[in-house]
Amino acid sequence: MIAFLRFKRGSKTMTNKFQSDAPFSFDPEQTSEMLDWTAARIAGGPDPRHGALPLSELDALIGSSITSTGIGAQTAMALFTDTIVPSCRPFGDPTSLSFVASAPSKASLSFDAALGAASIFAGNWDGGSGAIHAENQALRWISDLAGWPENAGGVFVAGGTLGNLSALHAARDWHRRTTGARGRGAILCSAEAHSSIATAARVMDADLITAPADARGRLSAKAAAPHLTEATFAIVANGGATNCGAVDDIAGLTVLAETHNKWVHVDGAYGGAALADPIMAREFAGIERAHSLILDPHKWLFAPYDSSALIYRNAGDGAAAHGQRAVYLDTVDADQWNPSDYALHLSRRARGLPLWYSLATHGTAAYVAAVASTRKIAEEIAKGIAVAEHLDLLLGPQLTVILFKPRSMDEPTMVRWAEDKRRSGSLLCLPTRWRGEMVFRLCIVNPQTDPTHVLHALEDLR
């Protein structure tokens, strides 16, 4: 128990003089049990049979957990382990192949637990210099994958939506500074752009212009050019569209943007991790000339929720748009790297550290191999679907997204099949729509996904 109450600084043992933790009692035994559960969960992984419960059922199971006197640590923890966790979809399981799931390394999960206990404020250098420096090493690795210069940099934010919004705010600020433009401005993107781009436009009160994608869901410079207007301040290029995996014509779009003095932002929330694989990285030709990039490590770089890397090719463009000024911030050293200068936030946890820890633990070569292995898994699954007499392969793999449909199954039956598979824990493969038609979609981001298991699960789509 002493380990919970004492810590060492150099050779001197320091004792916490507030061991009573008033007004909140501290239960070392319960904390040990909590850490034991955490270790077991990391070692064993999630149960693929878990999933959402109806509100009425959760009301009955959880009851009134917030009371004036509290329900105690053991009861609260039991509610978490026995009710809350089983009612949450286990995206980290190798059979979870819908949406864009997650596949955090055990090292990153273990470190995330330690990070929470460290309670680091990482909004500015004064509060979290070591953590920020380590995060910046992870950002540098991603920047190098994109071929960006030494003055590139940014910050880890909560998710792709906040990353896209922050990048597009910086884009409009840059456009106004460099051209003298005023007004609401406009964002040009593909019809296959993520929904967060439309959300960003609404939040910014900017116009949204969508250009048609080709049969693969890819936006070319030729298709985008007629939709470019004087008011356009940014072109958003998909770096792996969520629904179909398409990577837009980044090279052509950057040339188009440079000709008209526009900003190019690459939304690589899902697909940006493909830069780590030399084969898939070819799809991103031209990204070295883009202005900003987001990449979510909790999607395909084996980090836990939540983490999105927002990087500017010229970090100064981010700081010019986002730097906050106030009398209570006068003591912040503006000459240091302050993450609050690069996105729409001030307070933040060091959410990039689990990625840094896993990279430092396993090395970048392991990451390159893991991303490449998911590509090979997707290719094997797509080949199996292509030769199956009861299935039609519609698209892919594009990066690691596959679209397909059963030849003889109506939409209600497809929905029921997906729910049955989800509840059994066999496979999370949910329907989406492609060109107006209900289809199934697989997205492979977990190197432990077994293609034989997936193809076997698809056998009863006959």
User: pLDDT tens for residues 224-249?
Assistant: 999 999 999 999 999 999 999 999 99
Residue 45: closest CA among 110, 114, 115, 118: 110
What pLDDT is stored for residue 227 in this prediction? 98
Q: How far apart are the C-alpha atoms of 142 and 275, rounded to whole Å?
A: 8
pLDDT(312) > 60 = yes
- Decide: 266 and 258 in contact? Cβ < 8 Å: no
**β-strands 207-211, 186-190: how paired?**
parallel
Alpha carbon of 83 to those of 53, 75, 305: distances in Å?
Answer: 10, 11, 20
Residues facing 156 on adjacent strands: 309
Alpha carbon of 30 to those of 36, 37, 116: distances in Å?
Answer: 10, 11, 17
| Lowest-confidence segment of 31-40, 73-82, 233-242, 331-340 by average pLDDT | 331-340
Q: How far apart are the C-alpha atoms of 222 and 249, rounded to whole Å?
A: 9
**Banded pLDDT at 4 (limits 50, 70, 90):** very low
| Lowest-confidence segment of 87-101, 162-176, 229-243, 381-395 by average pLDDT | 87-101
What pLDDT is stored for residue 365 in this prediction? 98
- Each domain of the chain, given as residue ranges in start order, spans 28-87, 113-363, 365-461
**Would you state the structure tokens that stand for residue 52, as one six-digit string?**
């959402």
Residue 404: closest CA among 374, 425, 429, 428: 429
**Banded pLDDT at 16 (limits 50, 70, 90):** low
pLDDT(449) > 60 = yes
- Decide: 392 and 414 in contact? Cβ < 8 Å: no
The percent of residues in the chain predicted with pLDDT above 70, rounded, is 95
Which whole number is the average pLDDT over 266-274?
A: 98
Alpha carbon of 181 to those of 40, 173, 185, 280: distances in Å?
Answer: 57, 10, 8, 37
Return the CATH fold of 365-461: Aspartate Aminotransferase, domain 1 (3.90.1150)
What pLDDT is stored for residue 176 in this prediction? 97
The pair phi, psi for residue 317, each rounded to 5°, is: -65, -35
pLDDT(301) > 50 = yes
- Decide: 245 and 443 in contact? Cβ < 8 Å: yes
| Lowest-confidence segment of 165-169, 322-326, 360-364 by average pLDDT | 322-326
| Lowest-confidence segment of 63-77, 117-131, 303-317, 434-448 by average pLDDT | 63-77
pLDDT(23) > 90 = no
What pLDDT is stored for residue 10 in this prediction? 45
Which whole number is the average pLDDT over 373-383?
A: 98
The pLDDT mean for the chain works out to 93
Q: For tokens 């038609």, what's the residue?
A: 437
**Would you state the structure tokens that stand for residue 294, as one six-digit string?**
């987001």
What pLDDT is stored for residue 140 in this prediction? 98
pLDDT(220) > 80 = yes
Task: Give the burial class of 259: count Cβ atoms within 10 A of its Cβ; 0-12 exposed, 13-18 middle, 19 or more buried.
Answer: exposed
What pLDDT is stored for residue 27 in this prediction? 86
245 half-sphere exposure, CB direction, 13 A CA radius: 24
What pLDDT is stored for residue 8 in this prediction? 42
Architecture field, domain 113-363: 3-Layer(aba) Sandwich (3.40)
Which whole number is the average pLDDT over 403-427?
A: 96
What pLDDT is stored for residue 330 in this prediction? 80
What pLDDT is stored for residue 327 in this prediction? 85
- Decide: 399 and 376 in contact? Cβ < 8 Å: no
**Banded pLDDT at 332 (limits 50, 70, 90):** confident
The CA dihedral of 271, 277, 282, 285, to the nearest 10 degrees, is 60
Predicted TM-score (pTM) of this structure: 0.93
